[in-house]
């Protein structure tokens, strides 16, 4: 099973920091990692990427890896440059106070019931 | 930002010394050093390396030749991931006539397969010094990425972006008490180059003199 970014937002599990250009795109999996150099090569496209890294390069990597959204866990904040880049690149940026595993588990449960 | 307008801006600001520290690259050092010489400014060849832990550290070298050898060493250890200009920007190389003479194909912002552990010794082997960059930041800093300063560290200086954070940082990380603390503009754009507000006492105004001042632990 999959769901769209819009449906994920609609569950109101996460705070919406920035809404991307294409909310109808599918979320087909979850990827968790904070090292951008690893995420760059390994994050599957159309996945929800859970990380605590909220800087401008996070958005660059999200665009490159073509993930469907970024979820900032552990209350991590997107800095100003990150937010501006997310809006510019049309990347959906969500946030939660929950730890990385729990945040990922919520998405997993939604996808796999 | 071209080498000539970096040197020109440094001259207008009245800076004595600048350091060129592109991410994982020294390839623009020859051009900036040449431009700085024309403006009568001392320029130090260097690099802001991104280690395998994604810790940013500034490496400064006494000799341009050694910096270029270090550049080759680092480039060999970068993941061969081609740069995408529309996402990460251009990676141009300038010549000493301030003209673009090449482009670096692989993405430079990536982490190099070089650990922070052993980086001091590695850079010393090229006649340079290394200090962790923006240790107060929450991303790409030694303290944020490793969680603490490794007790067997050998670096003698540390850079802090916001000096107001220095006191709590020192309390939490006593290693910093013995370090020469510096702050720099970390300018990615011409307009971000600082005024000459902070000074460093040196024995002699030379690259060697600056490196020695940064190596003199308190």
**Neighbour tally for B96: CB within 10 Å:** 16
User: What pLDDT does residue B218 have?
Assistant: 54
Would an 8 Å CB–CB cutoff place B139 in contact with chain A? yes
Residues of chain B contacting A36 with CB distance shorter than 8 Å: 54, 110-111
Predicted model pTM: 0.90
The whole-angstrom separation of Cα B142 and Cα A88 is 30
- Whether B84 sits inside 8 A of A64 (CB atoms) is yes
What confidence tier does B217 reach under pLDDT thresholds 50, 70, 90? low
Residues of chain A contacting B78 with CB distance shorter than 8 Å: none
* Alpha carbon distance, N-terminus to C-terminus of chain A: 8
Digit-coded pLDDT (tens) for B115-162: 999 999 999 999 999 999 999 998 899 999 999 999 999 999 999 999
Q: What is the DSSP letter of A89?
A: H
Q: Chain A: which residues have CB within 8 Å of chain B?
A: 35-37, 40-41, 53-55, 57, 60, 63-64, 89
Of the candidates B81, B84, B139, the beta carbon closest to that of A41 is on B81
Would an 8 Å CB–CB cutoff place B11 in contact with chain A? no
The whole-number average pLDDT for the span B86-92 is: 93
The whole-number average pLDDT for the span B16-35 is: 98
- Whether A35 sits inside 8 A of B111 (CB atoms) is yes
Mean residue pLDDT across chain B: 96
User: What pLDDT does residue B24 have?
Assistant: 98
- Domains in chain A with CATH codes: 3-112 (3.40.1390.20)
- Whether A37 sits inside 8 A of B140 (CB atoms) is no
Beta pairing partners, B208: none
- Whether B87 sits inside 8 A of A64 (CB atoms) is yes
- Domains in chain B with CATH codes: 3-215 (3.20.20.140)
- Lookup: tokens for A91: 């990347």
Of the candidates B54, B81, B87, the beta carbon closest to that of A35 is on B54
The whole-number average pLDDT for the span B93-118 is: 96
Residue B158: helix, strand or coil by DSSP? strand
Residue A104: helix, strand or coil by DSSP? helix
Residues of chain A contacting B48 with CB distance shorter than 8 Å: none
Probe site for chain A from B80, B107, B110, B139 (most A CB atoms < 10 A): B139
B48 pLDDT higher than 60: yes
The whole-angstrom separation of Cα A7 and Cα A20 is 13
Residue found by looking up tokens 């995408």 in the block: B84
- Lookup: tokens for B201: 């006492």
- Lookup: tokens for A14: 């996460």
Q: Are B103 and B91 in contact (CB under 8 A)?
A: yes
Each residue's pLDDT, cut to its tens digit, for chain A (113 residues) gives 789 999 999 999 999 999 999 999 999 999 999 999 899 989 999 999 999 999 998 999 999 999 999 999 999 999 999 999 999 999 999 999 999 999 999 999 999 97
- Whether B110 sits inside 8 A of A37 (CB atoms) is yes
User: What pLDDT does residue B215 have?
Assistant: 95
């Amino acid at each position: 099973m999959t769901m769209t970014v819009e449906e994920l937002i609609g569950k109101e599990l996460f705070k919406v920091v920035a809404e991307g250009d294409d909310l109808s795109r599918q979320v087909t999996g979850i990827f968790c990692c904070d090292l951008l150099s690893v995420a760059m090569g390994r994050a599957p496209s159309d996945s929800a990427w859970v990380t605590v890294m909220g800087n401008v390069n996070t958005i660059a990597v999200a665009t490159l890896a073509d993930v469907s959204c970024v979820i900032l866990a552990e209350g991590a904040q997107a800095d100003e440059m990150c937010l501006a880049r997310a809006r510019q690149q049309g990347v959906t940026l969500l946030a939660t106070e929950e730890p990385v595993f729990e945040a990922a588990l919520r998405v997993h449960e939604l996808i796999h019931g | 930002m071209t080498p000539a307008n970096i040197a020109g801006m440094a001259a207008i600001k009245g800076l004595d010394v600048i350091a060129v520290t592109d991410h994982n690259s020294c390839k623009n050092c020859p051009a900036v050093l040449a431009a700085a010489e024309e403006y009568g400014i001392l320029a130090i060849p260097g690099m802001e390396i991104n280690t395998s832990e994604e810790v940013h550290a500034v490496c400064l070298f006494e000799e341009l030749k050694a910096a270029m050898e270090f550049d080759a060493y680092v480039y060999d250890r970068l993941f061969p991931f081609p740069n995408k200009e529309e996402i990460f920007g251009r990676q141009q190389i300038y010549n000493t006539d301030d003209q673009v003479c090449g482009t670096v194909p692989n993405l430079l912002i990536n982490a190099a397969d070089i650990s922070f552990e052993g980086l001091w010794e590695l850079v010393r082997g090229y006649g340079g010094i290394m200090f962790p960059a923006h240790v107060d930041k929450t991303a790409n800093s030694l303290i944020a990425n490793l969680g603490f300063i490794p007790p067997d560290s050998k670096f003698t200086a540390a850079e802090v972006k916001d000096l107001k954070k220095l006191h709590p940082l020192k309390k939490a990380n006593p290693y910093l008490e013995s370090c020469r603390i510096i702050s720099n503009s970390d300018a990615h754009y011409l307009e971000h180059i600082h005024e000459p507000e902070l000074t460093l006492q040196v024995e002699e105004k030379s690259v060697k003199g600056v490196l020695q001042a940064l190596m003199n632990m308190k």
